[in-house]
Amino acid sequence: MKRNGILNSHISKILSDLGHTDQIVIADAGLPIPKDVPRIDLALTLGVPSFEDVVRIVSEDMVVEKVILAREIKEKNADTLTYMNETFSQTKIGFVSHEDFKEITKQAKVIIRTGEVTPYANCILQAGVIF
């Protein structure tokens, strides 16, 4: 058994397989998931697990060089935007329209679905390197 880190074997495997610039998505319960992108569904009930919990745990185990958010988050979900700015204060954060965000998700290695039910609580995390 692992001593620490992510216990979910599917998430752990995806993170281990990421290369530089590969992207994963952490999504709220409502984000449409493209048919050809693998899904890891963690949603148990409304709000569980939260977007913030999943982002925190994944980002502790992943080198993130860039974050992409839907620009609509600025007006529709200030609390989540504040959390993302604090969590990724040393990381470049880019903004695209929600429609463009959904297009970018088609290239993701995986989409991790949370139980989050607040608007635009979705992010794309781009893998960096440790060297």
- Which residues belong to the active site? 20
Q: Is 10 annotated to bind ligand?
A: no
Burial state string for 12-24 with b = 16 or more CB within 10 A and e = fewer than 16? eebbeebeeebbb
Q: Which helix (H) or strand (E) holds 4?
A: none
CB-neighbour burial class of residue 98 (10 A; exposed 0-12, middle 13-18, buried 19+): middle
Q: Is 85 annotated to bind ligand?
A: no
Taking phi over 0 as left and psi of -120 to 50 as alpha, with beta for the rest, 5 belongs to left
Q: Is 122 annotated to bind ligand?
A: yes
| Residue list, annotated binding site | 28, 98, 120-122
| Residue list, annotated binding site for substrate | 28, 98, 120-122
